[in-house]
Amino acid sequence: MTSVHINEAKLVQDVEVLRSQFPQVKDLYREVCRLMFFRYGIQPTANKLYQLVRKGTMSTPVQTVNNFWNELRLKNRVDVEYSGLPDTLREFAGEALSTLWKSALEVAKQNVKEKHSVIYNLESNNKLELENLKAQLKKMESLSAEQHSELTMLRKQLQESEKRFLIDHQVSATQKEAVKTLQNEKSALEGSLKSVNNEFSAEFNKLHAALKLSEDKFRKLEARSFIEVDRERQRAYKLESEISELKKALLKEHAVTKSQAAKNQKLVNELRENVGMIKGQLKESQRQQLVASNKLKQIEKKKPLIK
């Protein structure tokens, strides 16, 4: 907004004040004309007066402007009428009063110019400050957009982690089924061994001892597998809790992103560390499950020797 716009707005406000003070149309036009010239240093015209007042016909502001200039010219030329004064003294007094009037008018115009200069300087400073604020706001919006992008990427990583967790859960369930199958095969093998002829009792005892040893190893491996499964279940529960807390934190941080950009960055870093830790734990769990699976395969390879 320029100084002209500022003066225009103030001029309109002052005109609204004069409306209540001068209900007569001619009086209102006269006062607005004086206001424009003496306070704002604007040369009054009929069109400008009519735009500000918007009352009566166009002839009213035309007559007001003419009367104003006539009055101003009369004030610039002062006649002193006093009985008994010589003509030369009356002319001298008139010229003195005229000079005083012109000087007062020039001082008033200079004051108006100084006020305009002050207003313009204030406006320039405000405009510069506004530009700085806009630049800061743009920078904050850009930073917020970057953080929003990072949060979106983190959500995708969490979704991928959830998918991998579901896959690991399915693998764990498959391992449980394999353990049940081995148990059923063991029961069938024991039944077959009991039905063997007494002639093979010695061989049966050897086989039974070998089977017992295998069963002990199997039970240890089974107990270890249960422990690993329970550990993975606890880790899964912990992961679900962390994911739930992370989602809540993300929703909360998304509502106050603009005012807490630094806190959001810190939270993102912490979440990245948690995700990295979870990935490491999942990889370690997969490695342990692979070891257990290999041991189960070794047991299955030993079964044909028992038969």
**Residue in the structure block whose two tokens are 């353990």:** 179
Expressed in angstroms, the distance from the first to the final Cα of the chain is: 99
More confident site: 79 or 280: 280
User: Which of 94-98, 173-177, 195-199 is least confident?
Assistant: 94-98
**Residue in the structure block whose two tokens are 């499950």:** 289
CB 253 within 8 A of CB 267: yes
- Residue 82: the pLDDT is 46
* Tokens, residue 238: 């912990």
pTM of the model: 0.30
- Residue 80: the pLDDT is 46
Tell me the pLDDT band of 95, cut-offs 50, 70 and 90: low
Fill in the amino acid letter for 51: Q
Neighbouring residues of 215: CB distance < 8 A, sequence distance ≥ 6: 186
The Cα–Cα gap between 151 and 154 comes to 5
- Residue 16: the pLDDT is 94
For residue 146, pLDDT beyond 90: no
Q: Of the spans 181-190, 243-252, 291-300, which averages the highest pLDDT?
A: 291-300
How many Cβ atoms are within 10 Å of 118's Cβ, its own excluded?
11
- Residue 212: the pLDDT is 85
23 φψ region: left (φ > 0), alpha (ψ -120 to 50), beta (else): alpha
The Cα–Cα gap between 259 and 251 comes to 15
